[in-house]
Amino acid sequence: MPYIPNTPEDQRAMLDAIGVESIDDLFAMIPSELRLQGQLDLPPAMGEMDLAAYMNRLASENTVAEACACFLGGGSYDHFIPALVDTVASRGEFYTAYTPYQAEASQGTLQAIFEYQTLITQLTGMDVSNASLYDGGTAAVDAVLMAMSATRRSGRVVTSRSVHPEYRQIMATYLANLDTQLHVVDTPEGTTAAESLAAEVDSQTACVLVQHPNFFGCLEDVETLAGIAHAAGALLIVAAGPISLGLLKRPGDYGADIVVAEGQPLGNGLGYGGPYLGIMACGERFVRRMPGRLVGQTTDRRGRRCWVLTMQTREQHIRREKATSNICTNQGLMALRAAVYLAAMGPAGMRAVAELCLEKAHYAAEQLAGADSLELAFEAPFFNEFVVRLADGRVEHRLKAARQQGILAGVPLGRWYPELADCLLIAVTEKRTKEEIDRLARVLAQPCPSGD
């Protein structure tokens, strides 16, 4: 079969060449109790036709977002992706050479990354962007480590409970073995109160990390929070929603020092586990502390415009203790998709998408809040995502009922916020129609049968 890489004879020849008796000898350093004993729990071997049918049956058990009215959010969103994005990103020149491991990377790859960086700086209002990172959560942590290096403060990092809970979990993991205290400001009203933040920020604070719009979809008073951070000599890191920047003030315009974002909404489809895109941009004074790669524009000896890897801050490229990053890829294919999306949409297109998301989300909130059994959990202004509280608290029942009608109704919040166990986080993108929103409102407002 084509997926078996070599024959027993091939394996024997390779084992003889490296001087071991069996494949098991290659894993001798792993304790036996940690190794699989016996066979994997898999069906018997099948022919190709039977295997294809079996895999199709398994795949059919999944619910595909594209086949539903998708109101899921919390970091991943069902936005429309123009056909142009797939057309350009699937070209062989890009698809098979999407990351510049060495300085001799192709000029086309470097140019595409340079254009991505340029578009990100325009979107965020910052001076410089790197050539992307893994995803929004790891980009946020890289920004925290970068701030600790830039301020020479490692004692304290302050964030908010309205920041994506998984971003905070990643931060806690990274900081667990450092002498750094991670302080999380509570947000009972859905946003970060200035006085609560000010009480946690001191002269040992390296940075303040806030999300805007935040995990609940609410808009933070970011200018006030920036003033609090800067007054203490700390840096402000903003985890931004890239689509929202088509309408909201850019982070660079209200004093952010470092901006990170999850780039999935920019031309990248929903994926269980990714691959996604970590965006990072900063002020020019921090450029030498930025992780990842940076592509620059220059001229060759004949005076022609060309591109180079200006900075390569990985441990493979410079002494390990001097590296600012150990990433092994820059998610370049996803960055390319984001660049094509941003270039295709342009400023007017980005604003139009943001306005549609805003207007449709507020229509949905009005429809839902009009039901006796539903209410908005927070009064703060929001962009395209909001939290709804169910009077009877039967969140899973409503989600199941909605799925049966082809609706992915939202993200239950109880797993991260026990006090919001009776709440759903609902996201509305430009793809949702009035009919879909009205159906969502009817399904969530329906009373649950007694005893169900």
Residue 343 has pLDDT above 80, yes or no: yes
Report pLDDT digits (tens) over 149-190. Answer: 999 999 999 999 999 999 999 999 999 999 999 999 999 999
Instruction: Provide the percentage of residues in the chain whose pLDDT is more than 90.
Output: 77
Task: Give the domain CATH number at 364.
Answer: 3.90.1150.10
Report pLDDT digits (tens) over 106-134. Answer: 888 889 999 999 999 999 999 999 988 88
Q: Which of 312, 343, 374 is the C-terminal boundary of a domain?
A: 343
Please tell me the distance from the alpha carbon of residue 161 to that of residue 180, in angstroms, as a whole number: 18
The answer to the question of residue 10 being in a domain is no
Residue 283 has pLDDT above 90, yes or no: yes
Residue 276: per-residue pLDDT = 93
Contact 280, 135 (CB under 8 A): no
Contact 239, 167 (CB under 8 A): yes
Residue 237: per-residue pLDDT = 98
| Cis before 275 (ω within 30) | yes
Contact 89, 332 (CB under 8 A): no
Q: Higher model confidence: residue 109 or residue 74?
A: 74
pTM of the model: 0.88
Please tell me the distance from the alpha carbon of residue 354 to that of residue 289, in angstroms, as a whole number: 32
Please enumerate in sequence order all residues whose Cβ is within 8 A of that of 356, keeping only pairs 6 or more positions apart, or say none: 429, 430
Tokens of 33: 């109790």
Report pLDDT digits (tens) over 373-384. Answer: 999 999 999 999
Do both 158 and 298 map to the same domain? yes
Mean pLDDT to the nearest integer, 232-248: 98
Do both 69 and 180 map to the same domain? no
Mean pLDDT to the nearest integer, 81-106: 79
| Cβ burial 425-443 (10 Å sphere, 16+ → b, else e) | bbbbbbbbeeebbebbbeb
Q: Higher model confidence: residue 424 or residue 8?
A: 424
Residue 1: per-residue pLDDT = 42
Do both 229 and 179 map to the same domain? yes
Do both 215 and 353 map to the same domain? no
Question: In Å, what is the CA distance from 318 to each residue of 76, 114, 326, 399?
Answer: 35, 22, 11, 51
Beta bridge partners of 218: 382
Question: Total domain count for the chain?
Answer: 2
- β pairing state of 235-240 and 258-262: parallel
Do both 318 and 385 map to the same domain? no
Contact 310, 128 (CB under 8 A): no
Do both 338 and 417 map to the same domain? no
| Cβ burial 129-149 (10 Å sphere, 16+ → b, else e) | bbbbbbbbbbbbbbbbbbbbb
Per DSSP, 21 falls in state S
Tokens of 184: 């999380």
Residue 240: per-residue pLDDT = 98
Q: Higher model confidence: residue 296 or residue 314?
A: 296
Residue 327: per-residue pLDDT = 60
What is the overall mean pLDDT for the chain? 91
